[in-house]
Structure 1
Amino acid sequence: MQALSHLECFVKSAESGSFSAAARLLAITPAAVSKNVARLEAALGVRLFQRSTRKLSLTEGGEHFLHQISAALTTLADAVHHVSEQDRQPAGTLRVSMGQAFGRAYMVPLLDAFLRRYPAIVPDWRFENRQVDLIGEGFDAGIGGGLDLKPGMVARELGRIHIVAVASASYMAGKRKPRSPSDLSAFDGIMRRASHTGRINQYSLRNAAGDAAAADLRPRVIFDDPEAICQAAMMGLGVALLPMPFAVPWLQNGALVRVLPGWSADAGPVSLYYPAKKLLPARTRVFVDFVIEQFRERDFARLIQSDKVARA
């Protein structure tokens, strides 16, 4: 399969923008990638890359060649990999990106059962609050919300995230309970600044009757991290608008209470996303199936939308 390895080096170098990045994805040395690309160029009689000390860019011929072979090479490589895996237990390093707090609260607790079922798989999980380029960065899958999926990606919804108003019981003690989101203007707010826009998040809450109103808290503290917001709310610094996946553990143990039961904002789905390949590596396929199964059994979708988790 020497010719296939040359083509893989070319495609990974083109997608990642450097021989070094391609080498990391292919688990070989940059020198080996460079030699394989050079051999491919010699065999084709065409220069595929313009090389400089700072940049690696495709030539016109390289662009055309990449367009022609990329999809076909992926299909061929998947087929070869699939045949080699058919009679073996799913194995290998499973690289997954997921949000920090979400991963710790909902994914790490699944690890014991997953490893007992698939002992030959080695999870290599990155806890980071961003959407990654799965192919370009060499990930098998990712988990997150607010996705902007590129062509060739598939997303499986795990549940829709609801934003709810929460506070500590000590902060709410002696205060008149708000009856609608507009009443929140009288309360100190622990606000969240969106890391990707720099703006303070604003929400309009809705109830089961379809009534909607803006939740205009009085800014007291501004953070860009939901875990820090949770901590500040538990310290009694004010009311916070939090995604239910972050709030649920603290609502369940009583550290936080719902301030406006029955009111929430729909922030869209949290999803498991992965490449749309007909022949996924076995480690990715069983991981996707396992996560979907576990989240369904644990009724995750209901949990992060429920108005019955805890009430003020």
Structure 2
Amino acid sequence: MLPLNLLESFLQSAEGGGFSEAARRLGMTPAAVSKNVARLEARLGVRLFQRSTRRLALTEAGERLLQQVRGPLAELQGAMAGAAQDAGEPAGTLKVAVAHGVGRMYLLPLLKGFIERYPAVQHDWRFDNRTVDLIGEGYDVAIGGGIELAPGVVARELGRPRILAVAAPAYLAGRGLPQHPSQLAGWDGIARRSAESGRLRDYLLRNAAGEEALAEFRTIATFDDPEAMAQAACMGLGVALLPGPHAAPLLESGRLVRLLPGWHAEVGPLSIYYSSKKLLPAKTRAFVDYVLAQLQGMDFAGRLDRL
């Protein structure tokens, strides 16, 4: 059986992109991490990394091993952390996947309070707008929308964002405000491309009376990131259809103006995802409970509903 420290050195080197970053994460020296990886390669009889003076790259064998051990190793670490939780506070590395904008604007500000409450937990956050495989990629928690509820995964809803039409005051200067989505035709707009499918996203706007209309404009720029769309809109480039969490602070500051306030597009819920296993590590349970309590305290879901 392979010693866990060899596999851990390999995993952290692969995910961190080098021995130095793996050493920082593991509290070791780069030389010790490199030695562990060399021992693992010797035990397996294959080369796992292509080494050069500039970078460390996985071989095909290394890629296969990474995919095979990432999930099981995380499960084993979680089990060990769970077995040890009776002896003290939640501890260990918490691996979190979170969407860019929601993570930076709403969740990152909560991190300081969690660290003060649970100082033995180390945080490894990955900011990504793509849909992640919670179990397969070894995450403890994922926060976003549209993540498939695969076997072994549960979701707790945080709120239901809406898609809002917005533009900068500079762009609106001298223009009459539209009263219906059809009046956006001919206006400049910033489109969003799906980071996963590569297709442009179309949004069907609805109002309280149940009317529906497709929001169409003359596309002058396309992005796959709502934060970039928001910044482009603030620059006065045109209309953008933004998720409520991204639009809210810019609307409150006056940098953007809400168009068609009676209209919006519905999207799926924003949720926090984690494993459904009964022996959930203390670090994961503590983080999930903390995030839910903090967002409830700031009426996060209610703010989204009122946009």
Q: Which TM bucket (shorter chain)?
A: 0.7 to 0.9
Structure-2 separation of matches of 1:160 and 1:303: 10
For the 8 Å contact 1:22–1:30, the answer to whether it is kept is no
Structure-2 separation of matches of 1:232 and 1:100: 16
Superposed CA offset, 1:172-195 (max 9, x none): 122121111111113211111212
Total equivalences in the alignment: 271
Q: Does 1:303 align with 2:269?
A: no
Question: Matches of residues 218-297 of structure 1 in structure 2 within 5 Å?
Answer: 218-297=218-297
Question: What's 2:137 paired with?
Answer: 137
Change (3 A) 1:179 1:140: same
AA at the equivalent of 1:144: G
Structure-1 separation of matches of 2:255 and 2:234: 6
5+ long unaligned stretches in structure 2: 16-25, 27-32, 46-58
Q: TM-score, normalised by structure 2?
A: 0.77
Shift of 1:33: 6.1
Change (3 A) 1:252 1:87: same
Shift of 1:265: 0.6
Shift of 1:128: 1.6
Question: What's 1:89 paired with?
Answer: 89
Q: TM-score, normalised by structure 1?
A: 0.76
Superposed CA offset, 1:231-285 (max 9, x none): 1111111111000111111011110010110210111111111111101111111
How big is the alpha-carbon RMSD for the aligned residues of Structure 1 and Structure 2?
3.2
5+ long unaligned stretches in structure 1: 14-18, 39-52, 59-65, 308-312
Superposed CA offset, 1:134-168 (max 9, x none): 33333211111111232111111111110000001
Question: What's 1:163 paired with?
Answer: 163
Change (3 A) 1:282 1:170: same
* More deviation, 240-249/295-304: 295-304
For the 8 Å contact 2:168–2:257, the answer to whether it is kept is yes
Change (3 A) 1:259 1:294: same
For the 8 Å contact 1:181–1:215, the answer to whether it is kept is yes
Aligned identity (percent) is 48
Q: Does 1:115 align with 2:115?
A: yes
Question: Matches of residues 90-105 of structure 1 in structure 2 within 5 Å?
Answer: 90-105=90-105
Structure-1 separation of matches of 2:216 and 2:94: 43
Shift of 1:22: 9.4
Structure-2 separation of matches of 1:269 and 1:204: 17
Instruction: Point out the structure with max Rg over C-alpha.
Output: 1
